[in-house]
Amino acid sequence: MAAELSLTVNGEPHRAAAGSSIADLVQAFGLDPKKVAVERNGAIAPRSTLADVTLGDGDVLEIVHFVGGG
């Protein structure tokens, strides 16, 4: 069994596979990494780095999804 990380995402507990990136997590929520803003442990994660930033056990993330409309 693969190791899992315990995360808090938008105030709710979540699990992710060890070695997952922020982009992997965003995609697991069905969101496009190009259309989100992510704060990780109190710091904004630049969108250009979401695929490169590996999640750590205990990370606290806030994910905001941009929605267009008219």
DSSP readout, 11-53?
TEEEEEETT-BHHHHHHHTT--GGGEEEEETTEEE-GGGTTT-
* pLDDT tens per residue, range 16-57: 999 999 999 999 999 999 999 999 999 999 999 999 999 999
pTM above 0.85, yes or no: yes
What type of residue is 11?
G
Bridge partners of 61, per DSSP, are 9, 40
Indicate the CATH number of 4-65 among 3.10.20.30, 3.30.70.260, 3.40.720.10, 3.40.640.10: 3.10.20.30
Bridge partners of 16, per DSSP, are 5
Cβ distance 61 to 22 under 8 Å? yes
